[in-house]
Amino acid sequence: MSVIKVFRSAAFTDLAKEMNRFGAMLQFETEAVFGKELVTQALRQRICARRKTALGQILFLLFAGRRLAGMAGPFTPTDDGLMNAVCLRDIGQRLEDAGYAIDLTVRKRALVFTPPGKQVLVLAQHNGYTLAALRRLHRELVGGGAFDQIQVFTYLTPEGVEELTAFLYDPPRRSPPIDVRELAVFSLPRPTPHREATLPTGVI
């Protein structure tokens, strides 16, 4: 006869706070950090839920988990929102592993870090941004003086990033070119267990 173990809600507090930090976590990463048993129980006791996405199984908080993390009310994320949260977490952890402090409070779904001499806004979108969106962000946030540089991270292939940025840095028409020192786009490898969490060349 199997025994089902039930955890008190407080046992999930650290998991809920960590999951809430960026908005979502890959299941394999959550199990590596908190253990498979706790994650299984968190799913069973509806602290979090699981969604199958193009990046794999992603976990996000349900109402009970959001309460443990100090958040009010229910929230149902989209698949894109979950994958973007995973992408932001990916680069956020890489920066922290490299010794940089990150600030998640300046702008929603973004982070800020400050390498010597500049303030950098980091945006993450798993499938990249449109050219129009990147130009608008550059104009408003760098041109407006809020940040020295925007760094965009995506799971597009390096070839996809090169194709996108060609129209930013060397536009074929009358659009003014954007300086890579003011807006840089980086490709991240899709997350897998035991991956190397290093920073792409050019981030710092």
> Does 64 score more than 90 pLDDT?
yes
Please say whether the beta carbons of 129 and 168 come within 8 A: no
3-state SS string over 158-189?
Answer: HHHHHHHHHHHHCCCCCCCCCCCCCEEEEECC
Please say whether the beta carbons of 70 and 108 come within 8 A: no
Q: Count of CB atoms within 10 A of residue 76's CB?
A: 9
pLDDT tens for 19-39 read: 999 999 999 999 999 999 999
Helix (H, G, I), strand (E, B) or coil at 46: coil
| Range 105-130 average pLDDT | 95
Average predicted confidence (pLDDT) for the chain: 93
Q: E strands, the chain, where?
A: 25-26, 48-53, 56-61, 110-113, 120-124, 149-154, 183-187
Please say whether the beta carbons of 12 and 43 come within 8 A: no
Same domain, 32 and 112: no
Same domain, 56 and 32: yes
What letter represents residue 150's amino acid? I
Same domain, 16 and 97: no
Residue 22 belongs to a domain:
yes
> Does 3 score more than 70 pLDDT?
no
| Range 71-78 average pLDDT | 90
Best CA proximity match to 18, nearest among 49, 64, 61: 61
Percent of the chain with pLDDT over 70: 97
Structural domain span for residue 26: 10-77
- Cα separation of 179 and 88, whole Å? 23
Best CA proximity match to 76, nearest among 59, 57, 62: 62
| Range 71-82 average pLDDT | 92
Beta pairing class for 56-61 and 25-26: antiparallel
Same domain, 72 and 144: no
- Number of structural domains, the chain? 2
Same domain, 70 and 87: no
Domain at 26, CATH number: 1.10.10.10
Same domain, 38 and 130: no
Residue 196 belongs to a domain:
no
* pLDDT value of position 10: 80
Helix (H, G, I), strand (E, B) or coil at 117: coil
Domain at 107, CATH number: 3.40.1350
pLDDT tens for 119-155 read: 999 999 999 999 999 999 999 999 999 999 999 999 9
Beta pairing class for 110-113 and 120-124: antiparallel
- Its pTM stands at 0.92
